[in-house]
Structure 1
Amino acid sequence: MNVSALLAVNGRKYPDKPALVAGDAELTFAEWNDQASRWAYRLREHGVEPGDRVVLMLPNCPEFAVFYIAVIRCQALVVPINARSTQEEVRYICEHAGAKALIVHEALVHAVNEWIEQGTNLLAIKTGGSQGVWLGTVAWETGEDVLGKLDEFAIDPDAPNLTEDSEVSILYTSGTTGRPKGVLYTHRSLLTVATMMAIELSIQHRSRILQLMPLSHSAPLHLFFISGLMVGATQVMALTFSPELLLSLVQKHRITHFFGAPVAYLLTMKHPEFARYDLSSVEFWMYGGAPLSKEMAAQMEQAYGRDKLACVYGLTEAGPTGTRLLHREHPDKVGSVGNRGVLFAEVEVVDEAGRPVPAGTPGEVRVRGAGSMKAYYNNPEATSEALRDGWLYTGDIGKFDEDGFLWIVDRKKDVMITGGVNVYPKELEQLLERHPAIAEVAVVGLPHPEWGETVTAYVVLVAGADPAHDWLTEVRGFLSGHLADYKLPRQVKVLAQLPRNTSGKVLKHALRDSAAQKEVELT
Structure 2
Amino acid sequence: MNLSKILHINGNKYPDRDALLFGEQRVTYRQWNEQADHLAHHLQQKGIQRGDRVVLMMPNLPDFAILYFAILRAGGVVVPINVQFSRDEVAYILEDCQARGMFVHEKLFPSVAELAKLQPSRFYVKTGPAEGGWESLGDWKSSPPLGNAPRFDPMTLTEEDEVDVLYTSGTTGRPKGVRFSHRSLLTVGTMIAIEFEINLESRILHMMPLSHSAPLHLMFVSAVIVGASHVFYPAFTPEMLLRLTEQERITHFFGAPVAYLLSMQEPNFPETDLSSSKYWVYGGAPLSKDQADAIADAFGKEKMVCVYGLTEAGPSGTLMHHRDHHEKSGSIGRRGALFTEIEIVDEQDQPCPTGQIGEIRLRGEGTMLGYLNRPEETAQTLKKGWVYSGDLAFRDQDGFFWIVDRKKDVIITGGVNVYPKEVEDALNSHPGVQEAAVVGLPHPTWGETVTAFMAPKPGANPLDEDGWLKEIRRFLAGKIAEFKIPRRVKIVSGLPRNASGKILKHRLKEIGTEADSYV
TM-score range, shorter chain: over 0.9
In structure 2, the partner of 1:160 is: 155
Alignment of 1:74-473 (within 5 A): 74-117=74-117, 120-144=120-144, 152-156=149-153, 159-462=154-457, 465-473=462-470
Q: Which moved more, 1:257-266 or 1:222-231?
A: 257-266
Shift of 1:289: 1.2
1:30 aligns with 2:30: yes
> Counterpart of 2:513 in structure 1: which amino acid?
Q
- In the alignment, is the contact (CA less than 8 A) between 2:308 and 2:318 conserved in 1? yes
- In the alignment, is the contact (CA less than 8 A) between 2:465 and 2:489 conserved in 1? no
> Counterpart of 1:35 in structure 2: which amino acid?
Q
Question: Secondary structure at 2:108's aligned position in 1?
Answer: helix
Partner residue of 2:487 out of 482, 490, 499: 490
Q: Distance in 2 between matches of 1:466 and 1:324?
A: 40
Identity %: 52
- In the alignment, is the contact (CA less than 8 A) between 1:177 and 1:509 conserved in 2? yes
Question: Secondary structure at 2:387's aligned position in 1?
Answer: strand
Partner residue of 2:472 out of 472, 475, 488: 475
Question: Secondary structure at 1:342's aligned position in 2?
Answer: coil
TM-score (norm: length of structure 1): 0.94
Q: 1:378 to 1:519 in 2, by over 3 A?
A: farther
Q: Distance in 1 between matches of 2:514 and 2:442?
A: 16
Shift of 1:225: 0.5
Question: Secondary structure at 2:284's aligned position in 1?
Answer: coil
Q: 1:371 to 1:88 in 2, by over 3 A?
A: same
Shift of 1:496: 5.2
Question: Secondary structure at 1:19's aligned position in 2?
Answer: strand
- In the alignment, is the contact (CA less than 8 A) between 2:209 and 2:499 conserved in 1? no
Partner residue of 2:508 out of 500, 507, 511: 511
Shift of 1:389: 2.2
Q: Distance in 2 between matches of 1:415 and 1:386?
A: 19
- In the alignment, is the contact (CA less than 8 A) between 1:496 and 1:522 conserved in 2? no
Shift of 1:489: 2.1
1:128-162 superposed Cα distances (whole Å, 9 cap, x missing partner): 2211211001112221378xx8x834233xx2321
> Counterpart of 1:383 in structure 2: which amino acid?
T
Shift of 1:85: 1.8
Question: Secondary structure at 1:235's aligned position in 2?
Answer: strand
Q: Distance in 2 between matches of 1:116 and 1:466?
A: 51
- In the alignment, is the contact (CA less than 8 A) between 2:162 and 2:182 conserved in 1? yes
Q: Distance in 1 between matches of 2:345 and 2:359?
A: 5
Q: Which moved more, 1:373-382 or 1:297-306?
A: 297-306
In structure 2, the partner of 1:501 is: 498
Instruction: Note the residue ranges of structure 1 that are not aligned, 5 or more in a row.
Output: none
- In the alignment, is the contact (CA less than 8 A) between 1:364 and 1:396 conserved in 2? yes
Between Structure 1 and Structure 2, how many residues are aligned? 517
1:387-438 superposed Cα distances (whole Å, 9 cap, x missing partner): 1122100011111110001111111110112233221001111111233443
- In the alignment, is the contact (CA less than 8 A) between 1:40 and 1:155 conserved in 2? no
Q: Distance in 2 between matches of 1:269 and 1:510?
A: 27
Q: Distance in 2 between matches of 1:29 and 1:337?
A: 36
> Counterpart of 1:205 in structure 2: which amino acid?
L
Shift of 1:462: 4.5
- In the alignment, is the contact (CA less than 8 A) between 1:201 and 1:284 conserved in 2? yes
TM-score (norm: length of structure 2): 0.94
Question: Secondary structure at 2:507's aligned position in 1?
Answer: helix
Question: Secondary structure at 1:33's aligned position in 2?
Answer: helix
Q: Distance in 2 between matches of 1:468 and 1:297?
A: 28
- In the alignment, is the contact (CA less than 8 A) between 2:465 and 2:490 conserved in 1? no
- In the alignment, is the contact (CA less than 8 A) between 1:494 and 1:521 conserved in 2? no
In structure 2, the partner of 1:66 is: 66
- In the alignment, is the contact (CA less than 8 A) between 1:432 and 1:479 conserved in 2? yes
1:54 aligns with 2:54: yes
Q: 1:121 to 1:440 in 2, by over 3 A?
A: farther
- In the alignment, is the contact (CA less than 8 A) between 1:57 and 1:104 conserved in 2? yes
Question: Secondary structure at 1:365's aligned position in 2?
Answer: strand
Q: 1:393 to 1:289 in 2, by over 3 A?
A: same
- In the alignment, is the contact (CA less than 8 A) between 1:479 and 1:488 conserved in 2? yes
Q: 1:402 to 1:67 in 2, by over 3 A?
A: same
1:195-237 superposed Cα distances (whole Å, 9 cap, x missing partner): 1001111111111111111111111111110010001111111
Instruction: Note the residue ranges of structure 2 that are not aligned, 5 or more in a row.
Output: none
- In the alignment, is the contact (CA less than 8 A) between 1:97 and 1:377 conserved in 2? yes
- In the alignment, is the contact (CA less than 8 A) between 2:53 and 2:98 conserved in 1? yes
Q: Distance in 2 between matches of 1:160 and 1:375?
A: 25
Q: Which moved more, 1:217-226 or 1:122-131?
A: 122-131
- In the alignment, is the contact (CA less than 8 A) between 2:284 and 2:500 conserved in 1? no
> Counterpart of 2:354 in structure 1: which amino acid?
A
- In the alignment, is the contact (CA less than 8 A) between 1:124 and 1:134 conserved in 2? yes
